[in-house]
Structure 1
Amino acid sequence: MSNSYAQAVLRTTDVAEALRVAGQLLDLANTGELEVDFEARVSTIRELERLSGVMPNADWWSYGADRRGSSRNGDSPSECLPIFMSRWCMAQEDVEAFLAAAGNVPAMVRWDFSGWPEAPEVGLGPGGTRGAYVTVCVNARDLYLEEPATDHTVFVHVKQVEAQRAAWLAARVGLEVIGELHMAPL
């Protein structure tokens, strides 16, 4: 497991706007190798059914004070709610269906790619795969999906030693960074 460092660049109540900004950031990136990961916090059977349809064979585990099950143990997710679901290496084409299934559930889409471009204005060469992500968190303010919200947040991920790249990337899409840089375990 490695860590990236993430900084918010947009908060909006419009999911389409969040996806548009994520797309603009991805247009800057080296996406020759692109993976898309989905995660969601699920509290009800109905949410579980909707998300299971777009996240087949997802890993999941119970969360909260009464943790009592996981996919690893072969437990039934419907008997262990609330759960956290995760599915890695999904197709880019699945993003809209995932977000539609998520509805008002705290969820996130993370794009993992080959690297960020050179940022000569801040003295940085091209970035490598470590720390090269864009994340859209819907119905949540944080990367852990622990802070429910009625808006959605777009994060750029960078290496900690290249923190200035986050502001540089935000400026490239007409935005500014919001708040501090936060460690984001992957």
Structure 2
Amino acid sequence: MSNSYAQPIMRTSDLAAAMRIVQQLLDLADTTELEVDFEVRISSAPTLTALMGLLPDTDWWAEGDRDGSSGTGDDPAMHLPVRLQSWAMPPAPVDLLLKSTRNAPAVVRWDFSGWPEAPEVGLGAGGSRGAFVTLCVNSRDLDLEEPAADHTVFVHVKHAEAERAPWLAAQVGLQVIGDLVMAPH
């Protein structure tokens, strides 16, 4: 499996505005197969309680070199800070998950069937590899290593189709605001 490449197209402190851009991008995409991946770094018990209530059977692990994980049946509250991750979810619970993150850094990635044709830059429709939109909440990066008071929207493309990222940004009235970077799996 090869990685996608992501490029930021929006940074804002207005989460609702970021979600509107995500929806506009999804409206362009082939979403016949749409699922969501979610990851969050949790440092507080109230945030942990809220998210575990929404995702009771999700995977989590202690941050850093510390022991503790869902795989060993540990209590996550005894191992804060932790990372919580849920894959291949339906998109419906995203709003509730984002409300429950509070100020914790989180990533939501929408995975779908493909991007549309971009004839202005010589590209046909893109397949599912490299077809994602990511919203980093309270973080500037895809790995949740740069906490922030704002939110960043990334479009993902195949490296060989890098010109699709600025084209997608233009379709929603924006432009790229950073470099194209290899995205984590």
State TM-score, norm by structure 1.
0.96
* Matched positions, count: 185
Q: 1:59-98 counterparts in 2 under 5 A?
A: 59-64=59-64, 66-98=65-97
Equivalent position of 2:137 in the other structure: 138
Per-residue CA distance 1:113-170 (angstroms, 9 max, x = gap): 0000111111111111110000111100000111000000000000111111000000
CA distance in 2, matches of 1:19, 1:167: 19
* Corresponding position of 1:8: 8
Measure how far apart 1:89 and its partner are.
Answer: 2.1
Aligned partner of residue 57 in structure 1, secondary structure = coil
Unpaired segments ≥5 residues, structure 2: none
> Runs in 1 of length 4+ with deviation above 4 angstroms?
none
Residue in structure 1 matched with residue 152 of structure 2 by the alignment:
153
Alpha-carbon offset, residue 62 of structure 1: 1.4
Q: 1:111-126, aligned counterparts within 5 Å?
A: 111-126=110-125
Q: Counterparts of 1:128 and 1:102 in 2: how far apart (Å)?
A: 31
Contact 2:41 2:105 in 1 (8 A): yes
Q: CA deviation at 1:45?
A: 1.5
What one-letter code is carried by the residue in structure 2 that aligns with 1:22? V
Deviates more, 1:136-145 or 1:1-10: 1-10
1:30 aligned residue? 30
Partner of residue 45, structure 1: 45
Deviations 1:72-98 (A, max 9, x none): 222221122111100112222201100
Q: Distance in 1 between matches of 2:102 and 2:151?
A: 12
Residue in 2 that maps onto 1:99: 98
TM-score scaled to structure 2, two decimals?
Answer: 0.96
The answer as to whether partners of 1:119 and 1:126 remain within 8 angstroms in 2 is: yes
Unmatched 5+ stretches in structure 1: none
Deviation for aligned residue 1:71? 1.3
Aligned-partner residue type, residue 149 of structure 1: A
SS of the residue corresponding to residue 136 of structure 2 reads strand
CA contact (8 A) 1:2 1:185 kept: no
**SS of the residue aligned with 1:38?**
strand
In 1, Cα distance between the equivalents of 2:14 and 2:66? 33
- CA displacement 1:37-83 (0-9 Å, x = unmatched): 1110001221110111222211111112x321221222221122111
Secondary structure of the structure 1 residue equivalent to 2:92: helix
8 A contact 2:9–2:152 mirrored in 1: yes
* Equivalent AA in structure 1 for residue 127 of structure 2: G
Aligned 8 A contact 2:143 2:184 in 1? no
Q: Percent identity between the aligned chains?
A: 63
Secondary structure class of the residue paired with 1:100? helix
- Cα RMSD, aligned residues only: 1.1
Pair 1:129 & 2:128 matched: yes
